[in-house]
């Protein structure tokens, strides 16, 4: 098995969100959902497990920001968008300050994994570069 080039790197971010936190947010500050999530993300919140999905996507955004190494400083909440690919897998889409930061770091790829249960959602983001 070939080894990764000496300039290869990986960055990992992990975050956990209590589903109850999303419930409180929606109940107390319904407009915050628009500020935190894009229209395409909000479309994923329909149906059962709405709050779990919301918590999972927020955790994924946080995990991506951690991969980028500066929280969301210099970015908006909409600069990291978590969608679904054709098979339902989480698909991170970067724009604005997040895309700029990824270019600065030399990130060539980014993947996200999300899981949730009744009370907690967790996400992990892995970014890589220097593998060409």
Residue pLDDT tens, the chain, 132 long: 555 556 788 999 999 999 999 999 989 998 999 999 999 999 999 888 899 999 999 999 999 999 998 776 778 999 999 999 999 999 999 999 999 999 999 999 999 999 999 999 999 999 999 765
The 120-129 sheet, strands edge to edge: 9-18, 120-129, 109-116
Q: In the prediction, which pLDDT does 46 show? A: 86
Distance (Å, whole) CA 85 – CA 104: 26
- What is the CATH T-level fold of the domain 9-129, as seen in this structure? Ribosomal Protein L22; Chain A (3.90.470)
Q: What is the pLDDT of residue 5?
A: 58
Task: Please tell me the predicted confidence (pLDDT) of residue 4.
Answer: 54
Number of helices and strands (H, E) in the chain? Answer: 5, 5
Query: Would the pTM count as exceeding 0.95?
Result: no
- pLDDT at 8 (0 to 100): 81
- The DSSP element (H or E) to which 115 belongs, if any, is strand 109-116
**Which distant-in-sequence residues (6+ apart) come within 8 Å of 111 by Cβ?**
92, 125, 126
Q: Give the pLDDT score at 59.
A: 97
């Amino acid at each position: 098995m070939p080894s990764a080039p000496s300039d290869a790197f990986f960055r990992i971010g992990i975050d956990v969100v209590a589903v109850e936190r999303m419930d409180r947010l929606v109940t107390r500050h319904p407009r915050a959902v628009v500020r935190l999530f894009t229209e395409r993300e909000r479309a994923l919140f329909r149906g059962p497990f709405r709050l779990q999905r919301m918590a999972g996507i927020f955790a994924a955004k946080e995990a991506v920001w951690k991969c980028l190494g500066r929280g969301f400083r210099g970015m908006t909440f909409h600069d990291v968008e978590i969608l679904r690919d054709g098979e339902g897998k989480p698909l991170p889409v970067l724009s604005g300050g997040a895309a700029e930061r990824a270019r600065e770091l030399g990130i060539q790829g980014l993947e996200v994994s999300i899981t949730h249960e009744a009370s907690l959602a967790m996400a992990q983001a892995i970014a890589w570069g220097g593998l060409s």
